[in-house]
Amino acid sequence: MAFYQFLAIFPSLLVLLSISSRVHGAGEHVKATLDNLSAQVLPQQASQLFQTMVGELYQRTLSGWQLISVCGGTLWAAWNGTWAMIWGLNRAYEVEERRPWWQLASIIVGLTLWIAMTACIAVLLVFWSAELQLHFHRGVIALRCMEWLIVIAAMSVSFAVLYRFAPDLRDAQWRWSTPGALCALVLWIGATLAGQVYFDDVSNYSRTYGHLNGVVILLLWLYFTNGAILIGGEMNSEIEKNAAGRVGPRRETSDLARTD
């Protein structure tokens, strides 16, 4: 999951910056918003890598065909990342993947587009908050808190949608998606804050990995993020099994019918 997401991040940013740069004045503001978000969420070394890459990508211009090819590579990596997430959540929910290929493909495409759209909306809202900070200096703290609320809301909604549609559950209900989403959100925030303290103040990965330290830290952050998602899915699975009085691996309705 972390590997394919890492492959998809920077081509996605290249596409976003290339499109926003075609709008007068928008490209520089989007770049500043991405730099601000990375500084708040990622450990310092990973944030420096992210900002360096964003700066390099912002300087590049893509023609029509180049943009199409980059979009193709981005979609390939993002779809593989979503498929890996579906596979992991099936394991967390203790179910086997039995959906037909066309249904599974539509779910992969839909979830990928949903996550991308949610991320873009969050970036735009944070950009709007940054613009307000330039005009209302007295409310900087409140606007900073609003930025975190936007990120938290985007993450929690994305988690809930993943738990609802990613695993192969025939009787999935929205109410069983909420506890795991909240659990994953708390774990993600805790892992993010702990990672910032550890990588910034405790351990210096540059001694071991040299110039690759930012890459390693970013991959580890993605790894912990996906771990929080899978733990939240496991929590939802156990709550649903206990509520239904089931013990052990989940069995689908068709299996129960054949057994009876």
DSSP output for 61-111:
---HHHHHHHHHHHHHHHHHHHHHHHHHHHHHHT----S-HHHHHHHHHHH
Q: Locate 64 and state its tokens.
A: 């029509």
Mean pLDDT for all residues in the chain: 81
Asked if the structure places residue 260 within a domain, the reply is no
Q: Produce one character per residue of 190-223: b if its CB has 16 or more CB atoms within 10 Å, e if not.
A: ebbeebbeebeeeeebeeeeeeebbebbbbbbbb
Residues contacting residue 56 through CB under 8 Å, at least 6 positions apart: none
Please report which confidence band the pLDDT of residue 173 belongs to, taking 50, 70 and 90 as the band edges.
Answer: low
Give the pLDDT confidence of 92-137 residue by residue, as tens digits.
888 888 999 999 999 999 999 988 888 888 777 777 776 666 666 6
**pLDDT of res. 18:** 82
Q: Considering the entire predicted model, what is its pTM?
A: 0.80
Q: Which domain holds residue 157?
A: 2-244
Distance set, CA 127 to CA 15, 147, 192 (Å): 17, 9, 22
**pLDDT of res. 73:** 86
Q: Locate 32 and state its tokens.
A: 């500043």
Asked if the structure places residue 252 within a domain, the reply is no
Asked if the structure places residue 43 within a domain, the reply is yes
Domain count, the chain: 1
Asked if the structure places residue 208 within a domain, the reply is yes
Asked if the structure places residue 256 within a domain, the reply is no
Asked if the structure places residue 47 within a domain, the reply is yes
Burial of 30 (0-12, 13-18, 19+ CB in 10 A): buried
Pick the most confident of 110-119, 172-181, 206-215, 236-245: 110-119
The answer to whether 92 and 84 are in contact (CB under 8 A) is: no
The answer to whether 140 and 130 are in contact (CB under 8 A) is: no
